Amino acid sequence: MANVPHTTAPRRRRAATAGFHLSATALAVLWLLPIALVLVTSVRSFDDIAAHGLGSRPRSFTLDAFRQAWVDGGQQRALINSLLVTVPCVLVTLALAAMAAFGLSRYELPLRRSLLLLMLGGNLLPPQILLIPVSKLSELMGAYDTLPALIGVQIGFGVGFYVFVLHGFMRAIPAEIQQAAVVDGAGPWQIFWRIVLPLTRPALAALSALSFTWIFNDLLWAITVLRSDTKMPITAALIGLQGQYVSMWNVIAAGSVVAAAPTVAVFLRFQRHFVAGLNLGAVK
Partner 1 sequence: MAVVTASARKSPALAHGSRRARGPRRTPPLVLAFVLLPLLVESVWVFWPALQGFYLSLTRWDGVSAPAFVGLGNFREMAHDHVFLGAAGHTVLWLVLFGGLSAVLGLAAALLLQQERRGVGFYRAALFLPVVFSLVATALVWQAIYQPDGVLNHLLASVGLGDLRHAWLADQDTALYAVIVPALWRQIGYVMVLYLAGLKGIDPALYEAAKVDGTSRRQRFRHVTLPQLRSVNAVVLSVIVIDSLRSFDVVWSLTRGGPYHSSELLSTYMYSTAFQSLRLGYGSALAVVIFVLAFGVIASYLVRAFREAE
Burial (CB count <10 Å: 0-12, 13-18, 19+), residue 217: middle
Q: Which of 14, 47, 67, 271 binds partner 1 (CB under 8 A)?
A: 271
Angle subtended by helix axes 201-217 and 249-269, to nearest 10: 170
By C-beta, is 6 or 108 nearer to partner 1?
108
CA distance 92 to 259: 23
Helix (H) or strand (E) holding 215: helix 201-217
By C-beta, is 64 or 144 nearer to partner 1?
144
Number of chain residues interacting with partner 1 (CB under 8 A): 122
| Spatial CA neighbour of 164 closest among 215, 214, 118 | 118
Q: Which of 78, 79, 147, 252 binds partner 1 (CB under 8 A)?
A: 252
Q: Which of 188, 199, 202, 205 binds partner 1 (CB under 8 A)?
A: 188
What residues from 217 to 236 belong to the interface with partner 1 (CB under 8 A)?
Answer: 217-220, 223-224, 234-236
Query: What angle (nearest 5°) sits at the alpha carbon of residue 116, between those of residues 147 and 178?
Result: 105
The reply on whether position 68 binds partner 1 by CB under 8 A is no
What residues from 74 to 93 belong to the interface with partner 1 (CB under 8 A)?
Answer: none
Q: How far is the CB of 131 from partner 1 (least distance, A)?
A: 6
The reply on whether position 251 binds partner 1 by CB under 8 A is no
| Spatial CA neighbour of 227 closest among 130, 133, 127, 138 | 138
Q: Which of 18, 22, 24, 180 binds partner 1 (CB under 8 A)?
A: 24
The reply on whether position 58 binds partner 1 by CB under 8 A is no
CA atoms within 13 A on the CB side of 176: 1
Q: How far is the CB of 284 from partner 1 (least distance, A)?
A: 5
User: Which residue blocks in 43-146 are alpha helix, DSSP H?
Assistant: 46-52, 64-67, 75-106, 112-124, 128-140
Using the rule CB under 8 A, give the single segment among 5-13, 63-71, 73-81, 259-267 that binds partner 1.
Answer: 259-267
Using the rule CB under 8 A, give the single segment among 5-13, 58-66, 68-76, 261-269 that binds partner 1.
Answer: 261-269
The reply on whether position 283 binds partner 1 by CB under 8 A is yes
CA distance 208 to 94: 8
